[in-house]
A and B are shown apart, each in its own frame.
Chain A
Amino acid sequence: MISLTLNVALTAGLDLAAINPTAFAGLNLAKIERLRIQYGPAQVRLADLFRITGTLDESLEINSESATLHGIGSALNSGKITLNGDAGDYLGAGMRGGEVVCAGNAGERAAAGMRGGRIEVTGSVGNFAGGTLMGATTGMKGGALIVGKHAGARLGDRMRRGLIMVRGNVGPQAGSQMIAGTLALLGGTATGLGTGMRRGTLLVADRDAVLPASFVVTGCYALPFVAVLCRHLAALKPPWRSRLAAFTEIERAVGDRGCDGLGEILIARGE
């Protein structure tokens, strides 16, 4: 494993989008040290900011006390990146495969436009997690984002496919303009759930969740597919199994009828 340890205090954003195990393939340490990265408006060598140790394989570790390391894992196809510290914006944005684990918080647009693989953030994520990349018309298209604490506003905005699971609270308008895909919200919710949602599923553990007026409640059910989904979620993160217990029965609401949407919000009603 190659280990990068940040050894300067950053005064500007650092773009680490190009730094991943695949980019290191075939390089020796000296060459890795000379890789160019964008630091603020300037280009610097990787070794100007990081101490680089270890041997080359499929994994990379980044140790940092800065929250401005942007774009970590965004070009990842395979392999694993472990970040010990906070991530900046665009964590795993657009990533196609492999795994990113962030032991800290992540900034805006984590997993935006993600296409595959798995991202786990032990802390919280900012706004638009699983949302769109700049200029794109659809958000996350595949893979899984697992958030240990809270998520900001507009989680899964325009999401097309894939799964986001949040253990803590989510900000306003979770699942806004969703096209498809699944959000599992295991903590508290805020206003505007599923605003502008076309399709897709919001699994909501919060019994006090407030449905927007443009959602139509269709009744309470015990649906077999929810049981299958919950089994899958439990396998993804076994310690959170107890949070899924109440989904034996759900209340189903369909919307957003304000835009002819047929998305569903499933609120836990079981014991």
Chain B
Amino acid sequence: MQAKITELRGARIYDPTHGIDGEVRSVFVSGDGIVASPRDPGTIKELLDLSGCVMMAGGIDIHTHIGGGKVNIGRMLLPEDHLAERSTRGEYPRLGSGRYSPSTLLAGYRYAEMGYTACFEPAMLPANARQAHMEMADTPIVDKGAYALLGNDDFLLRQLAGGADPKLIQDYIAWTLHASQALAIKVVNPGGINAFKFNQRRLDLDERNAAYGITPRQILLALAEGIHALGLPHPLHIHGCNLGVAGNVNTTLATIEALAGLPAHLTHVQFHSYGTEGDRKFSSGAQRIAEAVNANANISIDIGQIMFGQTVTESGDSMRQYAGSAFAYPKKSVIMDIECDAGCGVVPFKYKDSSFVNALQWAIGLELFLSVTDPWRVFLTTDHPNGAPFTSYPHLIRLLMDRSFRRDMLATILPEAAAASVLGSLEREYSLYEIAIITRAAPARSLGLSTLGHLGIGARGDITVYTDHPDRERMFKAPRLVYKAGEQIIREGKIVATPRGATHVVRPEFDSSIERLLDTYFDQYMSVRRANFMVSDHEIEEFGQSPLIRHTARR
């Protein structure tokens, strides 16, 4: 029997993957996907008139901390967040709590409520992969995937210090993706987290790690080259050196230069765009970064916009989080090592518009959004929860789309900070088409998710329908309809179904002889055996009840 076909008629469609910019046409949903217009109109079992609405594919968040050790530590450190914000019966299918450290259930519901259908956890330590996947499996509705952390682990650093064959590094990268069920590779403060354990408190791009004698530049290049050679869809996801340090714009520019044309993604680049000009030795480097990104087509970025208010910063970068813990609010933090292979820092923080640094950070993020010309290489993020909780996306979208609103907001921040930024002179307003790019089409393309992020035939039925409204914050806050894999999950702003999202992984080929080398290494140094370290498919599919979607490398 043919599956039921639903026709969604009359909405203006924004599908940048196919160049559709506000055209009114019908989209047909059948089973879990989008299908062609049926020859026999009699097969259309349901017709929804969506005149006056705006239709986009389901949103994709390329960088949001929703699973893994640090998120749970954040929840434990901040019971006050969970006491202050609790859902009540009937509000959501199940109860949840927390605003900036939301429980798994609430995170899934709130993403779905905003029309997002896929979220990617960017900092999964392979040693923590099992816990991260279980937590993500507990996050309802949205699709998930995670990026495995490399670059501070003893095995890789040893190999690099010993001048390893690039082929071995490639095999190790590929093995790590298999072992941790990851979709991409991220590097956090390359070599810096490790150097912190040898009492180095900073590590610039060309400084040597005291124990291994290698530099962040070497690590970055080894990983970026390995990923490129493997043909992974998503390039190296880089959280660079010197996060949050005034003057780090030079490090970021040097990083772009060091990559010498290799594809790379610079994440939460707002935190890496600070100069040292002015009386306070803190200034915006956004224009220089934007110029470099515009000039280097191999580089994509996400912003990590901050929003004013209480949040918690969660990062694997224990070196920078340790420095940040002096500014914790409330005054408590967790800085720890994980299995000697990376770190973890959880520091609660309150961004204030009356603080020069915070206010300028806010402006720097927006400057970056507005100054990078190619929207296909900019993704909308707040680095949830580090810049702000993801629930602030609708507000951020309004800031991007509405110049006069942006200027009104700019007038409310500390005047010295407003004067130190060129934000007030930036005229650009994002169009709905560009918003569809930065929140859907571009992340899907970057991650190699061929069936997500667009509304073409064969795409999965992840669809968000917004009621058009001049107040874009209101519009993006509560979509009228959301479909996930062809199933209606939001109707008139209310959750009506809670399907389980899939887990996206990438499976590059590799030479399995590396496993013998790893076996010896694991037996000698690690707390578990290699076979137990690895997360198997059935753990995700059976225990996590999350179907695996396996992507292949391009090689």
Confirm or deny: B41 has a beta carbon within 8 angstroms of a beta carbon on chain A.
no
When the two chains form their complex, are residues A42 and B79 in contact, meaning their CB atoms are under 8 A apart?
no
Q: How far is the CB of A234 from chain B (nearest CB, A)?
A: 37
When the two chains form their complex, are residues A134 and B89 in contact, meaning their CB atoms are under 8 A apart?
no
Give the residues from 72 to 89 in chain B that come closer than 8 angstroms, CB to CB, to chain A: 77-83, 86, 88-89
When the two chains form their complex, are residues A136 and B89 in contact, meaning their CB atoms are under 8 A apart?
no
Given contacts A133-B80, A135-B80, contact A41 B88 (CB under 8 A): yes
Give the residues from 9 to 27 in chain A that come closer than 8 angstroms, CB to CB, to chain B: none
Confirm or deny: B332 has a beta carbon within 8 angstroms of a beta carbon on chain A.
yes
When the two chains form their complex, are residues A43 and B89 in contact, meaning their CB atoms are under 8 A apart?
yes
Which among B88, B330, B331 is the interface contact of A42 at CB below 8 angstroms?
A: B88
Give the residues from 125 to 153 in chain A that come closer than 8 angstroms, CB to CB, to chain B: 133-137
Question: Number of A interface residues, CB 8 Å?
Answer: 10
Residue-wise interface mask of A (162-184) relative to B, using a CB-CB cutoff of 8 A (1 in contact, 0 not): 00000000000000000000000
Which among B80, B90, B332 is the interface contact of A134 at CB below 8 angstroms?
A: B80
Q: How far is the CB of A32 from chain B (nearest CB, A)?
A: 20
Q: Determine the chain A residues whose CB is within 8 A of the CB of B78 once the complex forms.
A: 135
Q: Determine the chain A residues whose CB is within 8 A of the CB of B82 once the complex forms.
A: 134
Q: Determine the chain A residues whose CB is within 8 A of the CB of B254 once the complex forms.
A: none
Q: How far is the CA of A133 from the CA of B83 in the complex (A)?
A: 10
Residue of A nearest to B78 (CB): A135
Given contacts A41-B95, A42-B88, A42-B90, contact A137 B330 (CB under 8 A): yes
Q: How far is the CB of A39 from chain B (nearest CB, A)?
A: 9
Q: How far is the CB of A72 from chain B (nearest CB, A)?
A: 16
When the two chains form their complex, are residues A137 and B332 in contact, meaning their CB atoms are under 8 A apart?
yes
Q: Determine the chain A residues whose CB is within 8 A of the CB of B81 once the complex forms.
A: 135
Give the residues from 52 to 79 in chain B that come closer than 8 angstroms, CB to CB, to chain A: 77-79
Q: Determine the chain B residues whose CB is within 8 A of the CB of A135 once the complex forms.
A: 77-81, 83, 330
Q: How far is the CA of A42 from the CA of B95 in the complex (A)?
A: 10
Confirm or deny: A84 has a beta carbon within 8 angstroms of a beta carbon on chain B.
no
Residue of B nearest to A36 (CB): B88
Q: Determine the chain A residues whose CB is within 8 A of the CB of B83 once the complex forms.
A: 133-135
Q: Determine the chain A residues whose CB is within 8 A of the CB of B80 once the complex forms.
A: 133-136
Q: How far is the CB of B398 from chain A (nearest CB, A)?
A: 30
Residue of A nearest to B87 (CB): A41
Confirm or deny: A38 has a beta carbon within 8 angstroms of a beta carbon on chain B.
yes
Q: Determine the chain B residues whose CB is within 8 A of the CB of A133 once the complex forms.
A: 80, 83
Residue-wise interface mask of A (28-58) relative to B, using a CB-CB cutoff of 8 A (1 in contact, 0 not): 0000000000101111000000000000000
Which among A43, A134, A137 is the interface contact of B88 at CB below 8 angstroms?
A: A43
Q: How far is the CB of B221 from chain A (nearest CB, A)?
A: 43
Given contacts A137-B330, A137-B332, contact A42 B77 (CB under 8 A): no
Residue of B nearest to A41 (CB): B89
Q: How far is the CA of A135 from the CA of B78 in the complex (A)?
A: 5
Q: Determine the chain B residues whose CB is within 8 A of the CB of A40 once the complex forms.
A: 89
Q: Determine the chain A residues whose CB is within 8 A of the CB of B88 once the complex forms.
A: 38, 41-43
Q: How far is the CB of B103 from chain A (nearest CB, A)?
A: 14
Q: How far is the CA of A134 from the CA of B95 in the complex (A)?
A: 19
Residue-wise interface mask of B (210-246) relative to A, using a CB-CB cutoff of 8 A (1 in contact, 0 not): 0000000000000000000000000000000000000
Q: How far is the CA of A40 from the CA of B82 in the complex (A)?
A: 15
Q: Determine the chain A residues whose CB is within 8 A of the CB of B89 once the complex forms.
A: 40-43
Q: Determine the chain A residues whose CB is within 8 A of the CB of B90 once the complex forms.
A: 42
Q: How far is the CA of A136 from the CA of B332 in the complex (A)?
A: 9
Q: How far is the CB of B131 from chain A (nearest CB, A)?
A: 22
Q: How far is the CB of A198 from chain B (nearest CB, A)?
A: 15
Residue of A nearest to B82 (CB): A134
Q: How far is the CB of A161 from chain B (nearest CB, A)?
A: 17
Q: Which one of B78, B83, B331 has the highest number of Cβ atoms from chain A below 10 Å of its Cβ?
A: B83
Residue-wise interface mask of B (395-436) relative to A, using a CB-CB cutoff of 8 A (1 in contact, 0 not): 000000000000000000000000000000000000000000
Residue-wise interface mask of B (318-355) relative to A, using a CB-CB cutoff of 8 A (1 in contact, 0 not): 00000000000011100000000000000000000000
Which among A38, A41, A43, A134 is the interface contact of B79 at CB below 8 angstroms?
A: A134
Q: How far is the CA of A42 from the CA of B77 in the complex (A)?
A: 26
Q: Determine the chain A residues whose CB is within 8 A of the CB of B330 once the complex forms.
A: 135-137
Q: How far is the CA of A11 from the CA of B203 in the complex (A)?
A: 58
Residue of B nearest to A135 (CB): B80
Q: How far is the CA of A134 from the CA of B80 in the complex (A)?
A: 6
Q: Which one of A40, A135, A137 has the highest number of Cβ atoms from chain B below 10 Å of its Cβ?
A: A135
Q: How far is the CB of A154 from chain B (nearest CB, A)?
A: 17
Q: How far is the CB of A94 from chain B (nearest CB, A)?
A: 11
Q: How far is the CB of A193 from chain B (nearest CB, A)?
A: 26
Give the residues from 89 to 120 in chain A that come closer than 8 angstroms, CB to CB, to chain B: none
Q: How far is the CA of A136 from the CA of B95 in the complex (A)?
A: 24
Q: How far is the CA of A262 from the CA of B278 in the complex (A)?
A: 45
Q: How far is the CB of A70 from chain B (nearest CB, A)?
A: 11
Q: Determine the chain A residues whose CB is within 8 A of the CB of B332 once the complex forms.
A: 137
Q: How far is the CA of A137 from the CA of B331 in the complex (A)?
A: 7
Residue-wise interface mask of B (447-471) relative to A, using a CB-CB cutoff of 8 A (1 in contact, 0 not): 0000000000000000000000000
Q: How far is the CB of B333 from chain A (nearest CB, A)?
A: 11
Residue-wise interface mask of B (85-106) relative to A, using a CB-CB cutoff of 8 A (1 in contact, 0 not): 0101110000100000000000
Q: How far is the CB of A109 from chain B (nearest CB, A)?
A: 12
Q: How far is the CA of A45 from the CA of B422 in the complex (A)?
A: 51
Q: How far is the CB of A158 from chain B (nearest CB, A)?
A: 12
Q: How far is the CA of A40 from the CA of B95 in the complex (A)?
A: 11
Q: How far is the CA of A83 from the CA of B332 in the complex (A)?
A: 36
Q: How far is the CA of A125 from the CA of B83 in the complex (A)?
A: 22
Q: How far is the CA of A136 from the CA of B82 in the complex (A)?
A: 13
Residue of A nearest to B76 (CB): A135
Q: How far is the CB of B331 from chain A (nearest CB, A)?
A: 6
Q: How far is the CB of A49 from chain B (nearest CB, A)?
A: 16
Q: Determine the chain B residues whose CB is within 8 A of the CB of A41 once the complex forms.
A: 88-89, 95
Residue-wise interface mask of A (49-86) relative to B, using a CB-CB cutoff of 8 A (1 in contact, 0 not): 00000000000000000000000000000000000000
Residue contacts A-B, CB under 8 angstroms, 12 given: A38-B86, A40-B89, A42-B88, A42-B89, A43-B88, A133-B80, A133-B83, A134-B79, A134-B82, A135-B77, A135-B78, A137-B330
> Which A residues fall within an 8 A CB radius of B?
38, 40-43, 133-137
18 further A-B contacts with Cβ under 8 Å, apart from A41-B88, A134-B80, A137-B332, are A38-B86, A40-B89, A41-B89, A42-B88, A43-B88, A43-B89, A133-B83, A134-B82, A134-B83, A135-B77, A135-B80, A135-B81, A135-B83, A135-B330, A136-B80, A136-B330, A137-B330, A137-B331
- Shortest Cβ-Cβ A-B pairs, 3 listed: A135-B80, A134-B79, A42-B89
